[in-house]
Structure 1
Amino acid sequence: MDSIKDAVKAVSLQEILVIVIIGCVVYWTLFYQDRLHSGIPTAGADPKAWFKVASARKAFLVNGKGVIQKALKDYTGVFQVVTATGTKIVLPGRFVEEIKNNSQLRLPDVIHKEFFASYSAFKPYASSQTACIMTEMVRTKLSNSLGNMINDLADETNCALDEIFGSSGEWQTRNLKTEILHLIARLSSRVFLGQEMARNEKWLNISKSYTVDSFIAIRMMREWPAALRPLIYLFSPECGRVREQVRTAGRLIWPLVEARRRSKRKALEAGLPPPKARDSIAWMDELADGAECDVPCGQLILSVVALHTTTELLTQALFDLCRHPAIIQPLREEVISVVGDRPLNKATLYNLRLMDSFLKESQRLHVGDITTMQRLALSKVILSDGSTIPRGAKVVTTTETMVDPTIYTSPETFDAYRFLKMRQGAGQENQWQFVSTCSEHLGFGHGQHACPGRFFAANETKVALCHLLLKYDWKFSDNAQRDGTDVTFGTEFESSLEAKVVLRRRNEEIALSV
């Protein structure tokens, strides 16, 4: 007995930790290794490897985009890849129309899994009652109020740009994405929470940091085997930061919610109509109708979706202005002609047709991921070519139609006028608008799960771009800046936080202030 005690004392904490980790890895290998779907070819797998799944997973982690691009050439139909979060069945773009409205292929369930929403730090990504309320709020309340928000967006843009970029007529170098992230945080918060919160630095910092840091933490979690993720979640600084951000958001948002509810109760008790508010807190309360709703988590996911999507869209658009400076003056002239001495409104934004085309073309060439339309199969689905998607399988489609030469002339070439010209075809006026979705352009997805906030994102981007075009000159200082604007994560690619542009204040031809 004494010899056993002596042996236990001799084992260091580090040795115990190593044994635990090895045990977890072995357990994961035996019981939680990614399973392949039978009858579907596996992209990236080394046919000579002993562990086919492991070889496919390694190939995908090293170069996911390349694996999928090669598979699209090698296979005529569906195939599967082994990603950091499990096996996924990949459907070529021709299947988009077939699955776009299939009720057995759901988006919320796969988002819950892909973004680890069962962990408290990632709770805003959860497929829950709050998520359903948020989706309905964006689809109805937000979209129906777009016309009333343009003045607020224009006012906040006018105020924010003076603070962000200043009024110096001298050329200055800036990290573009960082500055645009702050601008979009201001604009989105103005609409979702009102002017006071749009200028509350604590809230702005939380909304920005959670948008960036939650993606960093999620990508880090994906790199670890499933069995080790609970440990990584508990001890990694990346996840610790995000947990604290969720708590801070609660401390900032719940007092607003409670104050709003107290005012409503007092008014009703006095026999008076409750005060009306036109913001996301009021909309969430109305749609919840007494049901449980985590308002801070709802506000965080609103921030993530608005900031991530619109920041990327506007940043890439400004990079494209710098790459193709010849389009700057035509865009300015359109704004001057369409807006004139009128305030920005729904009609003027709609009539900025060249800008609409420019943004859609920029999005086409910077779609953000070689895959899209993530879904989870709730039951077995049989495709038109006879392929079977098993129940419980994760599914994605590819975005190769965005650069398909049978659809787009010179698809690799940037053409700001492309969609303006396509809209001039018979019956094509609506199909090629920026906010329109179709299987040939998947920038906002397609079908029943297409991005419901795309109408708000389009208005927000256009208002900001009007100001940025008329008030500032833009350029790259050298070719290194021109070519170093993107970074890649697996199949995802986005603008770099380190990419820089050079800008200076100019005298705008017309006043865009409210």
Structure 2
Amino acid sequence: MLEVISAFSYAFVTALVLSIAISKFMRRPNVDSIPSVGPGGLLTSYWAAVKFIFYAREMLQEGYTKHKGMAFKIPGLFCWNIFLSGPKLVEELRRAPEDHISARERISDILKPRYTIGHTIIHNPYHIPIILTQLTRNLPAQFPDILDEIQASFDDHLQLNGYEWTSVPAFETIVQVVCRTSNRVFVGLPLCNCINLSSPKLISIRPDWNDLTSGFALSVVKVAITIDFFPNFMAPLVNRLLSNLPKSVQRGMKHLRPIIEERQKCLDEYGSGWEDKPNDMLSWLMDEAQGEERSAESLTKRMLSINLGAIHVCRRYHLSSSVILFTDLLLLLFTGDDIYWFYTCIVLFGCSSSVHQSTTRRSRSHCRGRRLVKSCISEDADSFLKETLRFDGLTFISMLRKAVKDFTFSDGTFVPAGCTVSVASMPIHRDSDIYKNADIFDPFRFSNEEQEGEQAWHQMASTHPGYLPFGHRRSACPGRFFTAIELKTMLAHVVVTYDVKFRDGQRPANVTFGPANSPDMKAKILFRKRVV
């Protein structure tokens, strides 16, 4: 009897999944005029959609090679994914009206903000211009704090014992370093690294606020992915079972409410320019918040959401952050390949060595303390990091959009409402018509004389139709300038302070999931204090 019930249950679930899939397929817009990569039939399109999960790089390259300068499509499980290629279409997508081709709606589909971070975060994003202007303008003033927190957090999290090698999980360590460093700018001391007397050792490594923000970011990603596997009418139930947003907000308010109330008193009494006003993200938000957004609950949600963007990554949906970028860079540099370490020393410190060991001991000893700050504004350092993103990109696509109304590009490509639209950035970054010797890693590619005509071409945070890790122009990541400073400072600190290697000398292979290309999250690396 139990076997019959079990078989019936499996059959029912299978029939339900198939009916939902077929129903969504039948409602997919007609995009027959756009060339396809892979089969596009009723059942065969699902095979192509599954194949894309494992072979996205190859399928995108195939589409780009066959239809360069045009649009092509690849089936998804529930909708058509349209990919653009060529600078003309990239510029048209950038200029497309938000009420036709929407970045906001695509992010909403990915993060499910109604259930995970709150509807107003997406639909009243007043924090975006604050990040782009206030945060960027204040980076020079914030740099001493950024450097101080990076040095302190690496010391706390590595817990090195003399000159002995210590194995640490790369990704988890960088999450905590970036979390502390970001929150030094977002909320300042002492909240970014406060000590819990009940467990001094643990909390010095993972302060409660940082533990909350990093855990919240991961929870949002998990809930959003899970909801995406269910039909829309089940989303509220799935959210009720899995989401910890209310608890996270209450936990965050225990930290932020006293700070917010104290600052609000000063704002009300002395105005926005009161003496000794903290120069951090929370203060900038409070200056701009209106109405209900001024409440401690709303400001806490906003701060948690900003941390989500700064700290974590959603690998399935190819959303990256400084955590994933630096983890990949760290694993790349210490592969045992002399060339990357050689370039790092030249770029950051103007010194070199013919062999890896002499670079590790003599050259780095000579460089210690030299140009640490200067290296963070070096054109060659920017070019080095920018080339790393171009050559070993962490996502194969960029400029994610959703068509909320029918839209027609100048070449006649018709995109019906409901389709997703993106740019196939990986093939663009490896296009020999755009980059000379595109398949060769050239750390000085963006700072050489040939590119001097381009405005700020060397800068990692600059955008271009041929360089799209951060998007392009007004739709580009607003925190990319902060990310660039963080990455360069962390890199410089690691290079001059530690010896680093893999246990077996080999870098673990990257993990790809659809268009995402990320380093192995479980990879461990060995650190020790630099041996002079």
* TM norm structure 1: 0.83
Instruction: Indicate whether 1:106 and 2:110 are aligned.
Output: no
SS of the aligned residue for 1:473 comes to strand
- Report deviation, 1:438: 0.4
Say which SS state the counterpart of residue 256 (structure 2) adopts.
helix
Contact 2:375 2:381 in 1 (8 A): no
Which residue is 1:128 aligned to?
123
Instruction: Provide the secondary structure at the position in 1 that maps to 2:217.
Output: helix
In structure 1, the residue matched to 2:90 is 96
Q: Does 1:492 align with 2:492?
A: no
Distance in 2 (CA, whole Å) between partners of 1:113 and 1:89 is 16
Superposed CA deviations along residues 175-212 of structure 1, whole A, max 9, x for unmatched, are 21211111111100000000212104111112222233
**Deviation larger for 210-219 or 280-289:** 210-219
380, 383, 394: which one pairs with 1:368?
A: 394
Pairing 1:73–2:65 present: yes
Quick check: 1:435 aligned with 2:449?
no
Between 368-377 and 387-396, report the one with greater CA deviation: 387-396
* Closer, same or farther: CA 307–273 of 1 in aligned 2, 3 Å: closer
Q: Is the 8 A contact 2:21 2:78 kept in 1?
A: no
Task: Give the corresponding residue for 2:305.
Answer: 301
Deviation string for 1:79-118 (max 9, x for gaps)?
Answer: 2233356332211243212322222433112111222112
User: TM-score, normalised to structure 2's length?
Assistant: 0.80
C-alpha spacing 1:126/1:42, structure 2 compared with 1 (3 Å): farther
State the distance in 1 between where 2:82 and 2:514 align: 16
Q: What is the aligned partner in structure 2 of residue 318 from structure 1?
A: 330
Contact between 1:372 and 1:398, CA under 8 Å: does it hold in 2?
yes
Residues 348 and 375 in structure 2, CA contact (< 8 A), matched pair in contact too: no
Stretch of structure 1 that moved more, 239-248 or 133-142: 239-248
CA distance in 1, matches of 2:234, 2:348: 53
Shift in CA distance, 492/273, structure 1 to aligned 2, threshold 3 Å: closer
Aligned residues: 483
1:150/1:251 Cα in 2 relative to 1: closer, same or farther (>3 Å)? same
Aligned equivalent of 1:185: 179
Residue in 2 that maps onto 1:209? 215
Contact 1:181 1:311 in 2 (8 A): yes
**Measured at CA, do residues 462 and 45 of structure 1 come closer, stay the same or move farther in structure 2, by a change above 3 Å?**
closer
Indicate if the aligned counterparts of 1:185 and 1:204 stay in contact, CA closer than 8 A: yes
Where 2:122 maps in the other structure, the secondary structure is coil
One of 27, 30, 43 as aligned partner of 1:51: 43
Structure 1 residues 212 and 29, CA gap change in structure 2 (3 angstroms): closer
- Please show how residues 181-330 of structure 1 align to structure 2 within 5 Å: 181-200=175-194, 201-226=207-232, 228-235=234-241, 239-240=242-243, 244-265=247-268, 273=274, 276-290=277-291, 292=293, 294-308=298-312, 309-323=321-335, 324-330=340-346
| Structure 1 residue 329: Cα displacement | 3.1
How far residue 53 of structure 1 moved from its aligned partner, in angstroms, is 4.6
| Residue identity in the other structure for 2:168 | R
Matched position secondary structure for 1:118:
helix
Deviation digits for residues 46-94 of structure 1 (CA, Å, limit 9, x no counterpart) = 36x5535544433334544433333333445312233356332211243
Amino acid of the structure 2 residue aligned with 1:448: R
Name the CA distance, whole Å, in 2 between partners of 1:64 and 1:489.
8
CA drift at 1:436: 1.1
Q: Which amino acid counterpart does residue 394 of structure 1 have in structure 2?
A: T
CA distance in 2, matches of 1:259, 1:23: 58
Give the percent of matched residue pairs that are identical in Structure 1 and Structure 2: 23
Q: CA offsets per residue over residues 151-172 of structure 1, 9 Å max, x none? A: 1111112212221224532222
Moved more, 389-398 or 454-463: 389-398
1:333 to 349, 366, 378: 349
Shift of 1:406: 2.0
Shift of 1:398: 0.7
What secondary structure does 2:80 align onto?
Answer: strand
Give, in whole Å, the separation in 1 of the partners of 2:455 and 2:479: 21
Q: In the aligned structure 2, how far is the partner of 1:491 from the partner of 1:82?
A: 13
Secondary structure at the aligned position of 2:114 is classed as coil
Hey, what's the Cα distance between the residues in 1 that align with 2:220 and 2:393? 21
Whether contact under 8 Å (1:84, 1:223) holds in the other structure is no
Partner of 2:465, secondary structure, is coil
Amino acid at match of 1:108: R
Q: 2:529 aligns with which of 505, 510, 513?
A: 505
Residue pair 1:369, 1:492 contacting (<8 A) in 2 also: yes
**Partners of 1:485 and 1:248 in 2: how far apart?**
38
Decide whether the 8 Å contact of 1:173 with 1:503 is kept in 2.
Answer: yes
Q: Tell me which of 374, 384, 389 is aligned to 1:358.
A: 384
Contact (CA 8 Å) 2:390, 2:429: kept in 1 or not?
yes
SS at match of 1:292: helix
In structure 2, C-alpha distance between the alignment counterparts of 1:391 and 1:91, rounded to whole Å: 16
User: How far did 1:285 drift?
Assistant: 1.5
2:428 is the alignment partner of 1:407: no
Distance 1:256 1:37 in 2: 54
**CA deviation after TM superposition for structure 1 residue 424, in Å:** 5.2
Do the aligned partners of 2:79 and 2:419 also contact (CA within 8 Å) in 1?
no
Alignment match of 2:142 (pick from 149, 170, 192): 149
The 1:381–1:159 alpha-carbon spacing in structure 2 relative to 1, beyond 3 Å, is same
Asked whether the equivalents of residues 404 and 411 of structure 1 are also in contact (C-alpha less than 8 Å), the reply is: yes
2:151 aligned residue: 158
Partners in 2 of 1:30 and 1:279 — Cα distance?
50
User: Secondary structure of the equivalent of 2:422?
Assistant: strand
- The amino acid of 1:177's aligned partner reads F
CA contact (8 A) 2:54 2:512 kept: no
Task: Report SS of the residue matched to 2:421.
Answer: strand
The 3 A distance-change label for structure 1 pair 473 and 285 is same
Shift of 1:27: 5.8
**Cα distance, 1:172–1:139 mapped onto 2, change above 3 Å:** same
Structure 2 unaligned runs (5+)? 195-206, 313-320, 352-363
2:479 aligned partner: 453
Q: Tell me how far apart the structure 2 counterparts of residues 106 and 56 of structure 1 sit (CA, whole Å).
A: 26
Contact 1:80 1:88 in 2 (8 A): yes
* Shift in CA distance, 475/414, structure 1 to aligned 2, threshold 3 Å: farther
Structure 1 CA distance for aligned equivalents of residues 522 and 253 of structure 2: 31
3-state secondary structure, aligned to 1:406: coil
CA distance in 2, matches of 1:460, 1:391: 39
Which residue number corresponds to residue 511 of structure 1?
none
In the superposition, relative to structure 1, how do residues 489 and 230 fare at CA in structure 2: closer, same or farther (>3 Å)?
farther
CA RMSD of aligned residues (A): 3.4
- Whether 1:60 aligns to 2:52 is yes
Partner SS, residue 437 of structure 2: coil
Distance 1:441 1:30, change over 3 A: closer
